[in-house]
Amino acid sequence: MTTSVRNSGKGGNSFTSLLIQLRTFGVLILICAFFGLMAPNFLTYGNIPILAKHIAVNAILAMGLVFVLLTGGIDLSIGSIVGLAGMVAGGLIYEGIPLNFLGVAVYFNAPAIMVLALLIGMAIGFANGWLITKFNVAPFIVTLGMMYIARGLALLRSNGATFPNLQGASEHNTTGFPVLGAARLLDIPLSVWITAALAFFFIYLARKTPFGRHVYAVGGNEIAAKLSGVNVDRIKIRVYMISGLTAALVGLIVTSELVAAHPATGTSYEMNAIAAAVLGGTSLAGGRGTIGGTLVGACIIGVLNDGMVMMGVSEFWQTVIKGIVIIAAVILDQVQAEIQRRSAMAKI
């Protein structure tokens, strides 16, 4: 809900800008407090790690996606990449690469399988970016197409069936895959640690590196960026590779948690990720948004989801309420941006 997180806090009235920065965070606290009161089991030592695990999946997806959104693009294919990456990993563990004419199958160990799945996610992201820049097609169209392609490939991998029991077999050296989804460190699930590490890395990438600055520049004014020597096409390709990579990572995490790969996994995940980014103050027009804000947005969505479930709100109402929250957040944001713009104009 903070369009100007990135710009505010660097100047002007620092107290006001701090409030603006913390506004989304304040909403999150309020929601947590509300569910804490209404659902007594919500804020408990047992429940918080579960909640964090639910949030982690959407947060990783949204943080990768936000780079795409910052350039003014969109990536609808990430939900399908989640499914495809899971199926690739699941298939490799379950049956390896069957070489039927030899009557044997080639197996890889779990780390290699994960790397392979991540590379496939990145490759799909590269294809998205390449098609968008090379043929000048709208990102919405390209990634919509890719959404179908990746989902179709995921279904084709098993003819629509599930790869169950992905514990792996020691004779094939494929064990260890469920660790990703099940392991805990200091009582905190591994996926939450991964989310935190990624958040730090992405914040660094966005704020401290020329790449990050160029991403914001491309979204803020593509022509000015180009005339300033920003290689716009390369930046665009890279942001889709990032979102493809994070989507594949989420695919691995979800598959590992379930210890089974289903080709429909990740369906409509892209919408949750977009919602988290937008709640976190990301502008779909590009140029505005932060990793931190997106993280908070993902937390809000996660807390809303789990909180309403624990309160016993009907699933149908949950969906309606989530929609209302997203629209209300963006309207608030517009109002706030307008107020800021007016006060800025008044100063000139």
Q: Which residue of 47, 109, 221, 318 would you call a contact of other proteins, by CB under 8 A? A: 221
172 binds other proteins (CB under 8 A): no
φ/ψ (deg, to 5) at 209: -105, 155
208 binds other proteins (CB under 8 A): yes
Tell me how far, at minimum, the Cβ of 38 lies from other proteins, in Å. 39
CA 143 to chain centre: 15
φ/ψ (deg, to 5) at 262: -115, 135
Token reading at 296:
């908070």
CB-wise, 69 or 88, nearer to other proteins?
69
**Can you tell me the distance from the alpha carbon of 348 to that of 333, in angstroms, rounded to the nearest whole number?**
23
- Cβ-based burial of 51 (10 A; exposed 0-12, middle 13-18, buried ≥19): buried
Stretch that binds other proteins, among 7-15, 94-102, 119-127, 184-192 (CB under 8 A): 7-15
Token reading at 77:
């294919």
**Can you tell me the distance from the alpha carbon of 241 to that of 348, in angstroms, rounded to the nearest whole number?**
41
Q: Which residue of 216, 242, 256, 330 would you call a contact of other proteins, by CB under 8 A? A: 216
Token reading at 11:
């100047």
Strand partners, 185: 188
Q: Which residue of 165, 228, 319, 334 would you call a contact of other proteins, by CB under 8 A? A: 228
201 binds other proteins (CB under 8 A): no
**Is the Cβ–Cβ distance between 66 and 275 less than 8 Å?**
no
Q: Which residue of 223, 312, 316, 346 would you call a contact of other proteins, by CB under 8 A? A: 223
Tell me how far, at minimum, the Cβ of 301 lies from other proteins, in Å. 25
**Can you tell me the distance from the alpha carbon of 65 to that of 270, in angstroms, rounded to the nearest whole number?**
9
**Residue type, position 104, single letter:** V
Tell me how far, at minimum, the Cβ of 328 lies from other proteins, in Å. 24
Closest to 4 in 3D by CA, of 216, 288, 292: 288
CB-wise, 229 or 312, nearer to other proteins?
229
Tell me how far, at minimum, the Cβ of 270 lies from other proteins, in Å. 24
Tell me how far, at minimum, the Cβ of 144 lies from other proteins, in Å. 23
**Can you tell me the distance from the alpha carbon of 202 to that of 25, in angstroms, rounded to the nearest whole number?**
19
Token reading at 174:
């494929």
344 binds other proteins (CB under 8 A): yes
- Cβ-based burial of 220 (10 A; exposed 0-12, middle 13-18, buried ≥19): middle
φ/ψ (deg, to 5) at 7: -90, -35
66 binds other proteins (CB under 8 A): no
CB-wise, 167 or 231, nearer to other proteins?
231
96 binds other proteins (CB under 8 A): no
Q: Which residue of 46, 103, 229, 312 would you call a contact of other proteins, by CB under 8 A? A: 229
CB-wise, 150 or 277, nearer to other proteins?
277
Stretch that binds other proteins, among 129-137, 216-224, 298-306, 307-315 (CB under 8 A): 216-224
343 binds other proteins (CB under 8 A): no
251 binds other proteins (CB under 8 A): no
The site for other proteins (CB under 8 A) is made up of 7, 10-12, 204, 208-210, 213-214, 216-217, 219-221, 223-231, 287-288, 344, 347-348
